[in-house]
Copies of this chain bind each other. A is one copy, B any other.
Amino acid sequence: MSVMKPSEGKETSATHSAYLSLRQMILTGELPPGQKLKIEQLRSTLDTGASPVREALSLLTSDLLVERLDQRGFRAAPASLVNFNEILSLRCVMEDMALRQSIARTTADWEERLVLTHHRMKRAVEEGSIPKFEDAHKSFHMALLDNANSPILLRYCSQLYDLNIRYRYLAAGQTNYRKRDIAAEHEEILDATLRGDADEASATLIRHYRSTGEYLTDPLSKL
């Protein structure tokens, strides 16, 4: 059974695609904070077996997006203002560190990657595709950090980035969609980085995060 057209030779393990789907549903708030995650229900929603769902949930536990309760199954991680503030603080410290290390190790190859990911992000804005922009945005920010050559640090930054994104979605309903000029901020970060000005690049990056944070604090306090 499961005759597969030769075209779709994609790498699709049931577990991995369940992981991606669930992750997306939690990040966007489709599965809201604290929600009980019943295996049987998810199994039918995702049209897959119980084992892949369980394994995906286990993996999401490590991303701090899912909590496992004693022997009472899983639930989407709760959200709170203090949790948000912790994420924001850690992000600032860790991205600052990663960015400085990256700049200290600048190579032509890295600079090109930055320009490229930045370009793709701008392009995604023009095209007006939100999900495309989200991906490109993360790619750009991670590219800024990945030259630090510190896989664990990068992993933590990536996790914290995702956790932060989730709060943006949670607050999005009520937020007056930010009027700041995000594009200009990205431009500044890129320029300072290419200039090798670590202080300026880091300060701008952190300001970028903190001001986004302030926009979210108010709506989130109503959680």
Chain A interface residues toward B at CB < 8 A: 11, 13, 51, 54-55, 58-59, 61-64, 70-71, 86-87, 89-90, 93, 97, 150-153, 155-156, 160
Contact = CB atoms under 8 A, between A and B. Distances in A.
Given A150-B90, A151-B86, A63 B64 contact: no
B13 A86 contact: no
B90 A153 contact: yes
Contacts of A11: 70-71
A144 to B, nearest CB: 18
Q: How many copies does the complex hold?
A: 2
16 contacts: A11-B70, A11-B71, A13-B71, A51-B51, A51-B54, A54-B55, A55-B58, A61-B62, A64-B152, A86-B150, A86-B153, A87-B152, A90-B150, A90-B152, A90-B153, A152-B160
Contacts of A160: 152
A165 to B, nearest CB: 15
Contacts of A89: 150
Contacts of A71: 11, 13
Contacts of A150: 86, 89-90
Contact of A62 (B54, B55, B59): B59
Contacts of A58: 55, 58-59
